[in-house]
Amino acid sequence: MLIFEVLYNRFNMVMDFRKSHTLRFRQSMYGNILVGLSFLSLTFLTVKTFAPDIKSNAETQNISETVGPYTMSMSNDTVASINITPTASQTVYTGTNNLTVKNTCPDGATITLTTNSTTSNSLVRTGTDSGTKEIPATSTSALSNNSWGYALDNTDTYNAVPKKGTTPATIYDAVSAQTTNLTIPVKYGVKTDNTLPSGTYSADVVYSMSPKSGCLGYTVTWDMDGGTRKDGVTYPSLLGWGDTVNLSTLTPTRTGYIFTGWTNGTATFDGTETNANINSANTKTVTIKAKWTKLMAENLEYTPPTGVTCTNAQCMIDYLSNKLN
């Protein structure tokens, strides 16, 4: 929560993680699974002008999550302080919240920023007086008068924090893994003067961290080993970590052979499983290969049914193979 308490002597701004949430969401498609995961962190900031200085009891928030074979983590500074001496002139006062991130997804990750409100991205003050109740988000990169915003890379180029439900602001966009701690400074600024009514102006700000789509699951290759896929069914080519497959619906056929199951190179399946985890090792790619047993004519005792004419052993093998599969 961003809170600006405005009086007329000094400001002391505190950024504090009060609550945290981890959110997972999953979207499924027939034959392919897309998995989305993000961290949501509510950030609490205060600006106070009491004298002496107000101390904060903020604590560092740490969030981590495993995504298949990959891990992501994000933590935040406990406090960012701003000392403000309001004057008759519009002045920018700032405080920085440092995000510390790590991510082993080889395709990278993103961090976005929004408010936690779908209706407002202003800092709002409660009270029964008739004075100003809001500090709106900035409309200019230099911070418009009586506004607030955020800036990256220790610059003075500010942006409005988008409302929840609109396009979020991307504050980090990596295309490779970050295996050591990386600090991302997010600077918050408020531009005001001593005409702003005293009180507490607040808004919740949400950081969301997500891995790139290439790390949300794994690819599957189905090797029929000379056989033919079953008609009318879809063999999934993309699965989310931990998702299962109904192998009983995917039985292939091969002339002269009996299907005996599947193998991924390390584990085997008899083909009757309805909830098989075909990639318990969480590899980036997996090949599922069909297993076959060849029918031998000398081991068959066969009498053709009525209407079936076989003139040689291979005919009998082919007929039995089709019936058994």
Three-state SS across the chain? CEEEEECCCCCEEEEEECCEEEEEEEEEECCEEEEEEEEEEEEEEEEECCCCCCCCCCECEEEEEEECCEEEEEEECCCCCCCCCCCCCCEEEEEEEEEEEEECCCCCEEEEEEECCCCCCCEEECCCCCCCCEECECCCCCCCCCEEEEEECCCCCEECCCCCCCCCEEEEECCCCEEEEEEEEEEEEEEECCCCCCEEEEECEEEEEEECHHHCEEEEEEECCCCECCCCCCCCCEEECCCCECHHHCCCECCCEEEEEEECCCCEECCCCCCECCCCCCCCEEEEEEEEEECCHHHCCCCCCCCCCCCCHHHHHHHHHHHHC
321 within domain boundaries:
no
Gyration radius of the chain's alpha carbons:
31
Q: Between β-strands 158-159 and 217-223, what pairing exists: parallel, antiparallel or unpaired?
A: unpaired
- Whether residue 51 is contained in a domain is answered as yes
Neighbours of 191 (CB within 10 A): 21
Same domain flag for 70 and 189: yes
Structure-block tokens of residue 200: 């507490």
Quote the CA–CA distance of 249 and 37 in Å, as a whole number. Answer: 30
For residue 245, give the CATH number of its domain: 2.60.40
Whether residue 34 lies inside any domain: the answer is yes
On whether the CB atoms of residues 268 and 241 are closer than 8 A, the answer is no
Q: Tell me the residue range of the domain where 133 lies.
A: 2-215
Phi-psi region of 222 (alpha: psi -120 to 50; beta: other; left: phi over 0): beta
Last residue within a domain, chosen from 215, 239, 255: 215
Kindly report, residue by residue over 31-81, the tens digit of the pLDDT. Answer: 222 233 444 554 444 444 332 233 334 456 788 888 889 999 998 865 555
Is residue 303 included in any domain, yes or no? no
Instruction: State whether 146 and 281 are in the same domain.
Output: no
Residue 14 has pLDDT above 60, yes or no: no
Give, in order, the Cα–Cα distances in Å from 50 to each of 8, 46, 53, 199, 208: 9, 12, 6, 11, 33
- pLDDT average, residue stretch 96-114: 92
Instruction: Say yes or no: 162 and 242 in one domain.
Output: no
Q: Say if residue 39 is in the same domain as residue 178.
A: yes
Asked if pLDDT for residue 265 goes beyond 70, the answer is yes
Buried b (16+ CB within 10 A) or exposed e, 20-31: beeeeeeeeeee
CB atoms closer than 10 angstroms to residue 39: 23
pLDDT at 46: 43
- Same structural domain for residues 198 and 221? no
Distance between CA atoms of residues 138 and 151, nearest Å: 11
- The encoded tokens of residue 52 equal 């002496």
pLDDT one-digit tens code per residue, 156-215: 999 999 999 999 999 999 999 999 999 999 998 889 888 888 777 777 888 888 899 889
Q: Are residues 183 and 254 in the same domain?
A: no
- Verify that 124 and 208 share a domain, yes or no: yes
How many structural domains comprise the chain?
2
Q: How far apart are CA 170 and CA 138, in angstroms?
A: 17
Retrieve residue 67's tokens.
């995504």
At 108, the amino acid letter reads: G
Structure tokens at 4: 């600006």
Question: Could you tell me if 50 and 128 lie in one domain?
Answer: yes
Is residue 60 in a domain? yes
Q: Is residue 103 part of a domain?
A: yes
pTM attached to this predicted model: 0.72
Residue 20 covered by a domain: yes
Q: Which residue has the higher pLDDT, 223 or 204?
A: 223
Model pLDDT for residues 113-170, shown as the tens digit of each residue: 998 889 999 988 777 888 778 889 999 999 999 999 999 998 999 999 999 999 999 9
Whether residue 222 sits in one domain with residue 111? no
Task: Please indicate, yes or no, whether residues 68 and 103 belong to a single structural domain of this protein.
Answer: yes
CA distance 15 to 81: 7
Residues 66 and 205 in one domain: yes
Task: For residues 238 and 96, state if they share a domain.
Answer: no
Measure CA 138 to chain center.
Answer: 28
Average pLDDT, the chain: 77
Q: Is residue 206 part of a domain?
A: yes
